[in-house]
Structure 1
Amino acid sequence: MTRTKVMAWVGGVLYLLAVGLLIGGTPRASGTVHGIGALLAASLLVGVLRRGPVLALTMALFGSTAVVVGPPSSAGVDLSASYQGQFLSYLAVDLVLGYIVATRARRASTVAAAASLVVQLLLVGGFAHGDSLTVNLVITLLAMAAACTAGLLSRERREHAVALRAQEVAEAVIAERLRIARELHDMVAHSIGIIAIQAGVGSRVIRTQPAEAHEALRAIEATSRETLSGLRRTLVALRQADPDAEVSGRAPLTPSPGLADLERLAATTADAGVRVDVRRGGEQRPLPADIDLSAYRIVQEALTNVVRHAGTGHCRVTIEYGDGELSVEIVDDGRGATEDGPAHGFGIVGMRERVALLHGRLSAGPRPEGGFRVAARLPLPDAAVVPVQAR
């Protein structure tokens, strides 16, 4: 037996002894004294109540009934008045009943409430007389109703809290799945697009221009290695329960990309046949990790769309560091939006989600003079509270 179980049983035994002492040891005391004494003695049932609520209810019913049917006081002539005070002991039964309603299944709660109601009505009806009968019956019903109502409210509040926690967990899972989907899309789509273009170039010139084919294969190899490294970093981060724990036998994680890597991204895009003109304005400064990564991913996805759909060999990327926001603009002079474009892509959707999470603004669409434009405005926090990712 555990210590708590022993203490619970000791409390139950002491409760029964206390009730017996009230009945046999103080027969001349008034019914009110007996009722209050039995009510106070019910506090000994707390341990039993936590381990076995139904058993605690049974013991409380037994003790309270014993106080009511025990020898009445002989100090007064009005025995009904004496019994009225003894009915106070049933308040302990009501408290236990409220706990059962709050914590146990509805069927068990209904059975407990019915049994308690029958016992109390029979005892009150049998031992209350005259005008006090109606008053005691009404008080008994009201006390039981109050206990059951409090138990139901507690149950509903607990179930509502559980439902809210489950909803929060579900929303967190969905948000994490969307974040992972955006990361994988932005990381893989750009690389696969470049690999596909380089593979096509290599297959066409492999016999006539071996040097060009060799360069295309080199670009495919470099892009593939970079993509595999990014995928491995993402998967290891997902499998790593403790971000500070070292993964035995594995290489350390590399930092997430940011705007400082735009030149390397532009060079990779140039290998796919699209020259990127990167321009920066304003006072360049470290950015929060989430804004830095999101800005990079927006540029990466926009360049992927230029490579795959614009049909042009040039585009411009402009990064403007403002006082309160970061402006990112990608402009090309290609075909713009056409009916032949992808109907089920997630690139622009992912960009909108990223910007929305940062409470920014995004516009994406064809330009009147031709080509396509993607512009994002990302609000920046105060420089004093900017958490910068270590690189």
Structure 2
Amino acid sequence: MNLQHILSFSSDELHEWALEKDRRDALGHFRERFYLPQRDGETLTYLCGNSLGLQPKATREAIDRELTTWQNHGVEGWFEGEESWLSYHRYCQKSLAAIVGALPEEVCPMNHLTVNLHLMWASFYQPTAERYKVLTVAGDFPSDQYALETHLRFRGYDPAVALIEVVPRKGEYSIRTADILDTIAQHADELALICMSGLHYYTGQVYDMQAITAFAHRHGLLVGFDLAHAAGNIPLQLHNWGVDFAVWCSYKYLNSGPGGVSGLFVHEKHHTASLPRLAGWWGYEEARRFEMTKGFVPMQGAAGWQLSTPNIMALAMHRASLAIFEEAGIENLRRKSEELTGLLEMVLQRINQKAGMPKIQLMTPTDPAQRGAQLSLLIENEGKKVFDALTAKGIIGDWREPNCIRLTPIPLYTAFEDIWKVGEALENYWKL
């Protein structure tokens, strides 16, 4: 996809080009399926789905349906009604599996991300005297950093010794795949686990999960990924890549509501293994769950890691969004995402070109294969002022200390014209 030609467009020409793209967009009608934030009667330009996705209009109906079941059936809603609650997670498995590239029994919506991360560590982090260290990437999302640090301490290890972090080379923002693989090889004899994000929240870099997994497995190592910023953003093939486990949240790209239910993947090769685990009664074999007997017998597949009675309202919200993904198709969304993000990159290049100097530096890789929808902008000295100016113009991104603006076009509800608006706001800010 080459968008270099738009660098020579005037603002009016670029605006008309964007409008024509919107008129021809086969996925454009999905925008009408979401509530777009408003301010003083004006629709905002929302480029913050990497932090919180917008509300599908179907969400309210989905919640009302379960409220009606509760109203009419009370506790019997677990067994009665149009769709009983007892197996509600199953209603999400097929569409969720398509998004992350898994078998339906390998995925399950449950708990929250950091809870699931600790559960996976309890099962897959099995240190020995020789192999007890964990490899990750530097500067991962704070929740992951805190989880890894405290879990290691809980197991009796000093994170300063047991945690190996791969860092970018000097002067670079991304971490090269070769450096990750080299670090794995260097420490293979002392590693017990590799656990890292699949897409970095700050830089927007997509890691080569397939290559990392294959290389780690050749060294006898297990691999898990946090896909909070990848699920619903980029196509994944967790089963085919042989990833051992993965976790993600659903309130970003998956649009399932603030604090929405998390998701879990466990490869089928581990379903029959006698993995240690921290268990709860909702992970017990469903047909025998209400026998209330001693001795944990897990459900088959990822569902066996469930803990407590699920939040049906959260699952209903999640299901409503997953239905939209199933209709749109993750590959179709990815193609539009690449176009939107590519256009945003060209708009930023136009700013630098018109300014005659690099006003904006991209932290995110320019190779579409190494990024998702998000672009991370580095603006030295006045980044927060620029961010505030964008917000004042009704353009909603997010600010990350110390100097990063993240803008994320979401293919389900971002228009090409929205990207033009970003360029106009930035040109007006710098009076270009």
Which TM-score applies when normalising by structure 1? 0.21
More helix by share: 1
Ranked by relative contact order (alpha carbons within 8 Å, sequence separation 6 or more), the top structure is 2
